[in-house]
Structure 1
Amino acid sequence: MGFRFSKRITIVPGVRLNISTRGVSTSIGPRGLSMTMGRNGTYLNAGLPGTGLSYRQRLDGGRQSGAAPAFDPDAYTGSIKVKVEDDGTLSITDESGNPLPPALAKRAKSDQAVAIEELLNKAAQRANQDLTDCLSVHVGTPRPGDSPALPPPFAMPMPTEPTPQKPGLMDRLFSAGKLEADRVALDQQYQEDLAEWTAARDAQEGERSEVEKTFRLAAKGFSAHMEKALDYVLSGITWPKETTVGYQFTQDAAGIALDVDLPDLADTPRRTAEAKGNGKLTFKNRSDAQVRRDFVGMCYGSLFRVVGEVFAVLPPINRCLVSGYVQRNDPATGRLEEPYILSVVVRREDWDLLDFDRIEHIDPADTMNRFGARVDLDRAAQFREIQPFEIEQLG
């Protein structure tokens, strides 16, 4: 039988780590992209749904050219907003979202054709990012010997101590009490700000020092610190789809078995977008066969990434067993099943032979299969259930 580990990485107590971006935004694509044209220039506006984050980029280079303006000032004095809708079409409105007269909308498309094309290209790139992330999940794999990233150094500037104001003659005669009260208030505020700054600095430096200590002791083989180090690096991965990881060390702490709850086939992106120069974003559905192949690649890439993280952060580990399973409904029983679909044992000496300088050229499926992966794919590129390697086989 395969193994199921109860250990799950957590971000905060009571919250199981969802090593994923799913849930942050239910839509990855042109949503949130728009362009504003007005007297002050042409700007690209982009926001990340559900986060409150946004940015604004000027597209016309900040120059007032001799070309026709984005709108007729005699007919319209406001700004024009161009947005890529979810279906790929452009909506051209005023700043409040009200549709513009057809003549004015047509003029905007003509005068700002280059900027609109840039907007559509950015929207296409954003719409395709989900698929790109799924197919390149292994590209962020650290090379053996890479030092894990520490928390960033404390960068908040120290509060500035208030400069005493030298009172004039009239101040000394009539406002001495108020000046002293103001000075005391400023000094008190400075002391409070300094105390908060010091506490934040000490907390940040303390965390950084603790993580550094954890990595150092993990490299020496202390099992408790090996767990903490692995938790830290795995929780820092931004997976393209929901992925959870459990693990168990061998008794000699020289081997590790990892259990990976992989994404579902239904999570695999099914369409791509392209700006074809026709004034709209064109979507194309990927075939079922291509989606299944993409899913296979994402599963192999996910296990590849996990192996790489282990070998990078834990030098004492020389044998790594990683097995992936999926969650499926059994139509015969209605039960939720968790069949294993991929399992492989990787030894450090074999892993070290990979050329991580050319990782974008590595095919995780070819790599894992060369290492003797257990997998059963039918002719339609669908995973069949397999019997995974057991932790005892790590020796």
Structure 2
Amino acid sequence: MGFRFRRSITIIPGIRLNLSNGLPSLSVGPRGASISVGKRGTYANLGLGGGLSYRTRLDRAAAASNTAAIERSESKEELRNTLQSTIEQMESATRQIINVHTLTPNPAQGHSMNELRDHYVKAVTSPYAFAAPERPEKPVIPPAPIKPTIELETGFLKKLFESQEDRQERYEAALAIWERSMLDWEREKALVEKRYQSTRMAWAEQYALWQFESSNHQAMITTNIEIALGRFDSDSVFFETILDDALQNTDWPRDTSISFEVLPEQSLIKLDVDLPEIEDLPQSYFILNRQRTEIVKKEMTQKAIRETYARHVHGILMRLIGIALYALPFERVSICGFTQRVSKATGNLVDDYIIECDVDRSAFQEMNFSSLDNIDPIVAISRFNPNRKMSTTYVFQSITVNGFTNI
């Protein structure tokens, strides 16, 4: 079973953050009166009503030099304070995405077995109320880059005086760019198609299960409570429905695919998560320039990027473990995380497992859930002796999971 989460999230009321191509884009303030920061600049947005709006760029003081009001020192200081506040809000939002473990729920405050048992009896003696799973939409793949021809577009004079050698050289340069673009396009197309097929297969399984359960449920509406209670302890579909509902109501900062299986007889929850690629996380940060009049992008070091990625990966595992133990009063969680890469042996996209962890409820609940800000998720997951190959500089290598190694 699998599903996908929304890409855009609301961090706190009034702040919306989006991750795209490694660059965060942030909107601060209520709709109709906000400041947005992205790779194209910093803008103030003001809705005037009646479909009219006003938008102006804030990070170029020179662009407003012809406005007398901006030239006043108090207005400049106000601009600087606004930009500084925007940077701080952006840093805060980015930290909350990287430190996703701080949203881990406390399993001790989750569902009890008695609560689920009462819910189960009520559910199996009532009409079937679950809607059919929605079929995923087929992704739209952009057209392939157009291959250049020897007769490249150029001005009349250049065509008139350009030599055959120059034209051939210009064509070969354009052809090289096209070949690189085609490689990028083919990789992206293969990745999109593979993920769609995975989602489509997951939907087909869910839909077949829904049809089966709907038919069975209608047949057993008249079943007495004693028989229902006898089925409760081993009804994995019911427990998977509870876990699925908890995961569906969880916001993540990127599209995330999770498969899971519930084994009530073993008091075990198994999770398989498609982790983000390191390129999905921010590769840069933002500061004010020396005059404090413009927002400037700074590139992060490679080690800092890898450390951020490792912290985020371990934070995802920690949060998922907490959600699973909160949703279901089971004793164990087994979780695996993988990324997707192109196999050097076959050229196909493969699932590359990089971390695996088995966790007991009692050990997990030893964490101080009222002080998650002070917990390092890498250290926290390390307490459970995870199966991983991570260097001291936060480089992950492939691991064997359940006797299988990706090639």
TM range (shorter): 0.5 to 0.7
Shift, 1:147, TM fit: 4.1
Give the whole-Å Cα distance in 2 for the aligned partners of 1:298 and 1:245.
Answer: 16
Q: Is 1:309 equivalent to 2:309 in the alignment?
A: no
Specify the alignment match of 1:12 in structure 2.
none
User: Retained in 1: the 8 A contact 2:275–2:337?
Assistant: yes
Q: What does the per-residue CA deviation read over 1:271-296, in whole Å, with 9 as the maximum and x for residues that have no partner?
A: 11123552111222101111011111
Aligned partner letter, 1:124: I
Q: Secondary structure in 2 aligned to 1:230?
A: helix
Aligned partner letter, 1:258: L
Give the whole-Å Cα distance in 2 for the aligned partners of 1:234 and 1:90.
Answer: 43
Specify the alignment match of 2:389 in structure 1.
376
Q: TM-score, normalised by structure 2?
A: 0.56
Specify the alignment match of 2:351 in structure 1.
338
Please list every run of 5 or more consecutive structure 1 residues that lacks an aligned counterpart in the other structure: 1-6, 10-16, 35-42, 58-78, 93-98, 149-216, 391-395
Q: Is 1:45 equivalent to 2:45 in the alignment?
A: no
- The residue correspondences of 1:270-289 to structure 2 (distance < 5 A) are 270-275=283-288, 278-289=292-303
Give the whole-Å Cα distance in 2 for the aligned partners of 1:239 and 1:26.
Answer: 11
Q: Is 1:115 equivalent to 2:78 in the alignment?
A: yes
The structure-2 alpha-carbon separation of the partners of 1:324 and 1:105, relative to structure 1 and needing over 3 Å to count, comes to farther
The structure-2 alpha-carbon separation of the partners of 1:120 and 1:253, relative to structure 1 and needing over 3 Å to count, comes to same
Percentage of matched positions with identical amino acids: 21
Specify the alignment match of 2:272 in structure 1.
259
Q: Is 1:292 equivalent to 2:292 in the alignment?
A: no
Please list every run of 5 or more consecutive structure 2 residues that lacks an aligned counterpart in the other structure: 10-16, 39-43, 48-52, 112-228
Give the whole-Å Cα distance in 1 for the aligned partners of 2:237 and 2:249.
Answer: 19
Specify the alignment match of 2:57 in structure 1.
83
Shift, 1:130, TM fit: 5.6
Q: Secondary structure in 1 aligned to 2:397?
A: coil
Specify the alignment match of 2:172 in structure 1.
none
Aligned partner letter, 1:142: P
User: Retained in 2: the 8 A contact 1:233–1:309?
Assistant: yes
Q: TM-score, normalised by structure 1?
A: 0.58
The structure-2 alpha-carbon separation of the partners of 1:268 and 1:378, relative to structure 1 and needing over 3 Å to count, comes to same
Aligned partner letter, 1:114: E
Give the whole-Å Cα distance in 1 for the aligned partners of 2:37 and 2:292.
Answer: 26
Aligned partner letter, 1:275: L
Size of the aligned set, in residue pairs, is 265
- The residue correspondences of 1:210-221 to structure 2 (distance < 5 A) are none
Give the whole-Å Cα distance in 1 for the aligned partners of 2:232 and 2:277.
Answer: 35
Aligned partner letter, 1:18: F
Q: What does the per-residue CA deviation read over 1:158-215, in whole Å, with 9 as the maximum and x for residues that have no partner?
A: xxxxxxxxxxxxxxxxxxxxxxxxxxxxxxxxxxxxxxxxxxxxxxxxxxxxxxxxxx
Shift, 1:134, TM fit: 3.1
Larger Rg: 1
Give the whole-Å Cα distance in 2 for the aligned partners of 1:121 and 1:220.
Answer: 56
Q: Secondary structure in 1 aligned to 2:245?
A: helix
Give the whole-Å Cα distance in 1 for the aligned partners of 2:280 and 2:109.
Answer: 31
User: Retained in 2: the 8 A contact 1:127–1:272?
Assistant: no
Shift, 1:82, TM fit: 4.6
Shift, 1:225, TM fit: 2.8
**Cα RMSD (Å):** 3.7
The structure-2 alpha-carbon separation of the partners of 1:372 and 1:379, relative to structure 1 and needing over 3 Å to count, comes to closer
Give the whole-Å Cα distance in 1 for the aligned partners of 2:45 and 2:294.
Answer: 23
Q: Secondary structure in 2 aligned to 1:259?
A: strand
Q: Secondary structure in 1 aligned to 2:259?
A: strand
User: Retained in 1: the 8 A contact 2:287–2:297?
Assistant: yes
Q: Secondary structure in 2 aligned to 1:327?
A: strand
Give the whole-Å Cα distance in 1 for the aligned partners of 2:374 and 2:99.
Answer: 10
The structure-2 alpha-carbon separation of the partners of 1:220 and 1:365, relative to structure 1 and needing over 3 Å to count, comes to same
Give the whole-Å Cα distance in 1 for the aligned partners of 2:306 and 2:399.
Answer: 18
Give the whole-Å Cα distance in 1 for the aligned partners of 2:106 and 2:66.
Answer: 58
Specify the alignment match of 1:181 in structure 2.
none
- The residue correspondences of 1:151-230 to structure 2 (distance < 5 A) are 222-230=235-243
The structure-2 alpha-carbon separation of the partners of 1:26 and 1:321, relative to structure 1 and needing over 3 Å to count, comes to closer
Select 1:135's aligned residue among 76, 98, 109.
98
Aligned partner letter, 1:45: S
The structure-2 alpha-carbon separation of the partners of 1:290 and 1:305, relative to structure 1 and needing over 3 Å to count, comes to same
Give the whole-Å Cα distance in 2 for the aligned partners of 1:219 and 1:364.
Answer: 35
Specify the alignment match of 1:324 in structure 2.
337
Give the whole-Å Cα distance in 1 for the aligned partners of 2:268 and 2:370.
Answer: 26
> Which structure has greater helix proportion?
2
Give the whole-Å Cα distance in 2 for the aligned partners of 1:290 and 1:351.
Answer: 28
Aligned partner letter, 1:262: L
